[in-house]
Amino acid sequence: MKTALTRRLFIAAALAAAGAANAQAPKGGAAGERFIVVSSTTSTQDSGLFGHILPLFKAKTGIDVKVIAQGTGQALDTARRGDADVVFVHAKAAEEKFLAEGYGVKRYDVMYNDFVLIGPATDPAGVKGGKDIVAALKAIEAKHAPFVSRGDKSGTHLAELALWKDANLDPAAKKESWYREIGQGMGAALNTAKAMDAYVLADRGTWISFKNKDGLAIVVEGDSKLFNQYGVMLVNPAKHPHVKAALGQAFVDYVISPAGQTDIAGYKIDGQQLFFPNASR
């Protein structure tokens, strides 16, 4: 409870600071105020990607980036309120709805990786080594094996719910005792799965960068249903005139440019590439 409360207070403070900064800054940014606010998913932050590319972006442009890392649903809501200049997330249907509502200028594909099913070494559902995620979820449900859900309307959570739907199952609605929603980010979900000897859906980038892997392993991967696309959008200044449109567009242009795509591809941990550029223009 204390951890969740602390996180909520931190996010509230970050949003207040970002909103105040944006509200006070002239459109496009002024001298001495060359920064933007990017509302993004936790995976781009927790994986270390932003720690890699943002200094490279600043070196090229002189623009600082302040990141608000949340689940995708919250990140889009932050942008809807005008508390961000750019949104960088991974739930295409939700992103397209954001655009249709007029809150974004244009959506661009940026990069992809995939989701993986993480499970305990004991593998109580007997799914390790499989490539069929729907079959694995059915096996978990049949065994009532512990499963941790982020439960936070993030891109990963939305992907997980879609997979349960594909399996014609809905453990969240049924409030199954073996299915635990925690309402927190990917790192917390992985730590909870470790503590509970439970299964959890994770994005590969966060899994690779996760330091507390002992007792956990990838049990299912490689299914086309686990594809994970990321997109970027400038928040529409017609909706929120204080949006730093020029500076924000500079960031969008960077991540979809050949240089930005090379920088994204160059981010590796122990020789493993975390994200694969596939920008659309």
| In a shared domain, residues 249 and 264 | yes
pLDDT at position 281 is 67
Number of domain units in the chain: 2
What's the pLDDT tens digit per position in 87-106? 999 999 999 999 999 999 99
The overall pTM is greater than 0.75: yes
Last residue of a domain, one of 186, 210, 227: 227
Contact, 147 vs 119, CB < 8 A?
Answer: no
Tell me, yes or no, whether 136 and 203 share the same domain.
Answer: yes
With a cut of 50, say whether residue 3 has pLDDT above it.
no
Last residue of a domain, one of 204, 227, 250: 227
Residue range 245-278, pLDDT digits in tens:
999 999 999 999 999 999 999 999 999 999 999 9
CATH number for position 137: 3.40.190.10
Among 206, 111, 97, 94, which residue's Cα sits nearest to residue 155? Answer: 94
- Same domain? For 21 and 120 the reply is no
If asked whether residues 128 and 196 sit together in one domain, one would say yes
221 shares a domain with 121:
yes
- pLDDT on residue 29: 42
Same domain (yes/no): 64, 125: no
Domain extent, residue 162, equals 114-227
- Do 19 and 35 belong to one domain? yes
Q: Report the half-sphere exposure of 254 (CA within 13 A, side-chain side).
A: 22
Residue 19 pLDDT: 47
